[in-house]
Amino acid sequence: MSFQNGAVTGDQDSYWRHKQANGSAKGAISKINDILGGSDDLPMYKDKPHFPQSRRRKWWQQRRSLTVLATLTITILWLTGWFSTAPKLESYSSFTSGQTYTKDPKLWRERADAVREVFKTTWNGYEKHAWGMDEYHPLSKTGRNMVEGGMGWIIVDSLDTAILMNLTSEVARAREWISTSLSYTADHDVNTFETTIRMLGGLLSAYYLSTNYPHLAPLLDDDVLQPGEDLYIEKATDLADRLLGAYDTPSGIPQASVNLNKSEGIPAGDGLSSTAEAATLQLEMKYLSKTTGEPIYWERSEQILKVIDDQQMEGGLVPIFMHPSSGTFRGQNIRLGSRGDSYYEYLIKQFLQTKGGEPVYKEMWDDVMDGIKRYLITWTKHSNLAIIGERPGGLHHELTPKMDHLVAFMPGTIALSLTNGTTVKDAKARLGPLWTKKHDEDLRLAEELMKSFWGMYKVTATGLAPEISYFAIDNPPRQWSFDDPDWSPPTPDELSDDIHAPWRLDYDIHPQDEHNLQRPETVESLFYMYHITGDTKYREWGWEMFENFRTHTQVIDELTGQVYAYTSLDTVTESPVRPKRRRDNMESFWLAETLKYFYLLFSDLDGEDGLPKLEDIVINTEAHIFPRFSIEDSKVWKTGWSRKPKKAASPAPDAQQGQQVPVGLGVRIDPKDDWAADVKAGNIGLEKKAEEAEPEGEEDGYAFPPPPVVVASTNKEVDEQGRSLDEKLAKMEQEWVDKSWDDGAAGAGAGKGKGPKSHTSHNGGGGGEAVKLKDRNRS
């Protein structure tokens, strides 16, 4: 589905607009409400009829009422296009601006229970058809292992969700499998990052919750272990010891893969590691060190942050690839989506994990926030929606108006960084005058980004977001202003239900990006935004999302007619989704993250269920829960490195003294020019100004400077300002494009499966062929 120049492409959506334009569906809700004497401010299904106490009426009165009711029913069906031969469509969304949202605790408990039931249904289907296997294929009712014997990928990853939901029987069966079947002796390679955040993180979270919140899922009398035996921590320590082999590189940047049997790091075929993978291991390793008293996990993982920070990248924003041998960045691609995202997430979360005991990570986060606003934030053309773009050519090259669904972690993370997990009200009371205008600006930014990601759901026929969306923006893009004290970001439009609303024109979904893997990032941010701001609309948005997941991703048994699973989709742009557009794969994060965040969003963290309070915990990038702890008086647990003195920012390439190259525009401007401030603030359309500033002899109106070299390459093959390297990385990125798993593909040991977000698709050359893991950092 693509929204361009006011037109919508795609059979289903074209039909919807056609029906609107011809009046057969246009304003149906409004017409029906007029008949009933209601208001069209609320969707019909929200309206609750009010009837007097029932009493028996005469037969002719009943018949007249039935006749009126039948006539009304037929009218409604006709107005909504029921009798048309074209396919039926669901409304894009049911929530409108200005709606009053419910705070009824009983209703939200019922909704949390509904999430719990979906988890149980999914778990039971997996247990019946693929128990112990690393992958679950719901449509074919089969499973598959990534390594010989399996790693219990789904069991371990989703275990702490079962604990939080107080599913005692499910937890007991998982513990038994972990005790009797989980081992790391298979002679295969696994992804270092994925194994850390899912397996190590899952075990550590289960340990924390079971020891500190035993009431959530108490052990049964016939538990596999006796009291005092630490099943989870013993398995976690064994795994971490094997993972340390990946860190044995000259720079300390871990290899992309590791052979757990040999504890041997295996480089990817190109020799590179992604920045997010290398720098998203610290929460897990530090908590393990604190729990076991062994500092090696802490020390090895924090070294990575020193290597990254020592390079003093502009705006705190770093390229998405690193070389473990040299520790240097490769290429210039800057983005907060795949291969970049969780590096930034773990900066602020490391600060919170030690209760502020490592201020260096707050400083790095503050640099990042400044850089994001300076280089990546812009607003859409038609409705002023805030987006975080990408700069694939480096910070001084064009902005690409693209957001992966993965970037949706940012609104919640920004809010978390402002209050440390308490409510805004409590944070303001605690900080007093230290709560500044900047805090308010950043909170507003979080709220506006949250709305933009909600729009990615609201704009589609299913009400589910695509994997990636592009956006319509100004040329050049508007920028955040740091110089004008009176400047404020533009106010976004409301996301109205009007099918012709201008905001819909800002979303551009490409056919190759319209799939949905049941990702958690948007509901993750809704969870933080609700519990931090207290605004119930975030709960309501989440409830609508959950209902759409339940409706469109459910799998029904043909024999029993019962739902037994939920699965990924090839498209979100048609409703209902045809059977052939459904993928035969359920990612483990559906259980580990998505349903967990829905459950916690609808739950009271201070209520009778005794769930952990947000200000007491830190949640890793796979939604596994760890405690916060103090290192204030410790001589062992402390930051083992310090930042280098900051060097002055280098001038933009090819700029003369007193000049700058504005972000997103390849023309030089002089600060003395009367329009320079407007250029920087993004307040004017700049085609004319670009022509005026065009150097003599240029034909296309733009004079882009040569690409800056981030780090000088030591490889002759990629010299000459990185041109050969850029070509190589572009080719590599293309090879890593997300594809669905082919039915009947070869097993992981054969190394031939095509997996979404596969990192380890290359032969490591030292420990067997790498197993393809479907990771959250989609390429």
DSSP state at residue 405 = G
Q: Is residue 341 flagged as an active site residue?
A: yes
Give 641's Cβ-side CA count (13 Å radius). 17
**What does the alpha-carbon distance between residue 130 and residue 137 come to, in Å, rounded to a whole number?**
8
Distance CA 285, CA 281 (A): 6
CA distance 151 to 110: 34
Give buried/exposed letters for 211-230 (b at 16+ CB in 10 A, else e).
Answer: eebeebbebeeebbeeeeee
| Straight-line distance from the first to the last Cα atom of the chain, in angstroms, rounded to the nearest whole number | 21
- CA-to-CA distance for 44 and 41, rounded, in angstroms? 9
Nearest to 480 by CA among 662, 671, 345, 705: 662
Run of H or E including 428: helix 424-431
Task: Tell me the three-class secondary structure of 530-570, residue by residue.
Answer: HHHHCCCHHHHHHHHHHHHHHHHCEEECCCCCCEEEECCEC
Task: Using the structure block, give the residue that is written with the tokens 């970037």.
Answer: 407
The tokens of 42 are what?
């609320």
Could you say which of 521, 574, 584, 775 is catalytic? 521
- Per DSSP, the residues of 496-541 read -S-TT-GGGGGEE--GGG--B----HHHHHHHHHHHHH--THHHHH
Catalytic residue among 309, 467, 513, 726: 467
- CA geometry: angle at 517 spanning 216 and 444, to 5°? 75
Torsion angle (degrees, nearest 10) of CA 181, 183, 186, 187: 180
Q: Are 378 and 682 in contact (CB under 8 A)?
A: yes
> Which candidate in 341, 367, 508, 513 is catalytic?
341
CB 89 within 8 A of CB 575: yes
Query: H or E stretch including 243?
Result: helix 231-243
Amino acid in position 455: G
Q: How far is CA 285 from CA 19, 187, 279, 288, in A?
A: 56, 24, 11, 5
For residue 7, the surrounding DSSP H or E stretch is: strand 7-9
Report the 10 Å Cβ neighbour count for 283. Answer: 26
Determine if residue 185 is labeled as part of a ligand binding site: no
Place of tokens 């934030």: 377
At CA 684, angle to CA 678 and CA 686, rounded to 5? 100
Phi/psi of residue 524, nearest 5 degrees: -60, -50
Q: Which amino acid is at 763?
A: N
Match 């309070």 to its residue by tokens: 613
Q: Which of 157, 194, 622, 769 is catalytic?
A: 194
Contact 304, 252 (CB under 8 A): yes
The answer to whether residue 194 is catalytic is: yes
d(CA 172, CA 749): 30
Catalytic residue at 670?
A: no
- Give catalytic residues, as residue numbers: 194, 341, 467, 521
Binding positions for Ca(2+)? 621
Binding positions? 621
